[in-house]
Structure 1
């Protein structure tokens, strides 16, 4: 059974149960939750679609060897160049993992490939524009996110260059290219990313809706008054929710009772490390890699986000 079959089955159930759904949504609390859910999905969906189309186009028409050719020979200098490449070679979190594997297979230093893995889903134009739309009147939030994400990618890359070991990355095989042509690659990549990221968008919107009605305002107000605790909670929430970077800004924007700094941490940590990324990295590079890379990335992302927020917000 494919994801399309599941979607059709859910749609048929929703149509059949429409009277019950209408009656249920007449409850004020559920009306509020439904409004938040629909608002987050509607705002985020255009950016999500644009993001997966760009990701598919890059997978189909841009060879990883392009990045390898422009990288400096010295690994230390290659790290910031790889991070900057995320601005022009965007991709979602899921797509960046196999791209990084292909780069390593083509001889790119591990640190530079991993830097690109972290930067591409976090600093690309789609993500930054989505953040600007989600936080109107707060241009500092866009700048703080970009600076925090770039710093996370570069610092993690430099630390991996200094302390990482080649034997921790045990799966370097590069899959053969698809025989279906570039347009087939584009369509399949976009379809896969949309189905995967769309599911996480629904989960994130549902979580935002649930938080809006289930969490008493006094709790969020108390959390807002304890900045350190709020930062830690939002960092862990980013790991658990595993949202797509093109959509996470709208979920963060819905948490209006929290200060900007904890929400910035949510936006910087999410594209760098979450449960789906840990699983992907373990399956692609091995468990030894994921066991070391995920805690390192989480710590660096939190510190860089806090530093960026304290300076720019």
Structure 2
């Protein structure tokens, strides 16, 4: 009687790397047709130029960020951060907020790190402050902002101060009114699983972050190009004359686009028709609260947490960005 072989290896799953490779091959094979189609329409040619400009400028910072993020996942344990935190909770919020400067990476990588901090006994308020500061004030993000806004060093300073203020305010708010029961679940992160080598952790983390962040970079560059094609200059000029409306529109756009913090400065810089202040709001709100970040937080901490944390973070980020922007940038 024939028996069924149950030892056969499972079918391979198609992942984001396969899709990316397929699209890249298609672009190479049909290059001539694509170039002809783009050159046939001036609008498409303009959009392609803007897309490539944003993408090419942002890619080096994105790659650097994911490499450092992968190294942190493999070689840096949250136990090190926890040992550095003061016993006083309010002081711990301040230290963890500033610690974000030393750990480059996008907001996607900050979620598991903050979760591990909580698991190892760090105050929840300090872990959440780190969650908000790490993707917004680290050196990679600040340097990318300086490159995206040449001749505007105050933009870098304003982004640093507003993002740090957002992390501090949210951390101190949680220390005062936060409740442990609002966090209903946490996922188990295996970055430091002893069964995996550090090199395996590094390569897997870097590959995952690159594909995820790269997808959002493509989305952001495409959105910037689409805005220049679809939205007439007259509308942007009108929006530029309505500062409050421009701030609200850019804040909502930051939530919806869900860009990586290592590349969002180049998208904001492409919107040159708008004053600096609304674009600063875009840069501060994005790493603090957007749709992909809310989805990750829901998976890590529960939907009830997101329902309370995200709306307050949005209001605090807009308020901090606007206040700091008016002080540092003026009405620009």
When normalised by structure 2's length, the TM-score is 0.92
Q: Alignment partner for residue 200 of structure 1, among 187, 212, 216?
A: 216
Give how far 1:19 is off. Answer: 3.6
Query: Which residue does the alignment assign to 1:17?
Result: 30
Runs of 5+ unmatched residues, structure 2: 1-13
Give how far 1:13 is off. Answer: 2.9
Query: Which residue does the alignment assign to 2:305?
Result: 289
CA distance in 1, matches of 2:56, 2:276: 23
Q: Alignment partner for residue 5 of structure 1, among 10, 15, 18?
A: 18
Contact 1:104–1:172 (Cα < 8 Å) also in 2: no
Indicate the SS of the match to 1:297.
helix
CA distance in 2, matches of 1:173, 1:21: 44
- Does 1:248 pair with 2:264? yes
Contact 1:105–1:174 (Cα < 8 Å) also in 2: no
CA distance in 2, matches of 1:181, 1:233: 46
Contact 1:105–1:173 (Cα < 8 Å) also in 2: no
Q: Alignment partner for residue 68 of structure 2, among 26, 47, 54?
A: 54
Give how far 1:90 is off. Answer: 2.5
- Does 1:145 pair with 2:145? no
Structure 1 runs (4+) deviating above 6 angstroms are none
When normalised by structure 1's length, the TM-score is 0.98
Query: Which residue does the alignment assign to 2:285?
Result: 269
CA distance in 1, matches of 2:217, 2:109: 16
**In the superposition, relative to structure 1, how do residues 134 and 175 fare at CA in structure 2: closer, same or farther (>3 Å)?**
closer
1:1-313 matches, cutoff 5 A:
1-26=14-39, 27-172=41-186, 174-176=188-190, 177-178=192-193, 179-313=195-329
Give how far 1:173 is off. Answer: 5.0
Runs of 5+ unmatched residues, structure 1: none
CA distance in 2, matches of 1:67, 1:250: 31
Indicate the SS of the match to 1:160.
helix
- Greater radius of gyration (CA): 2
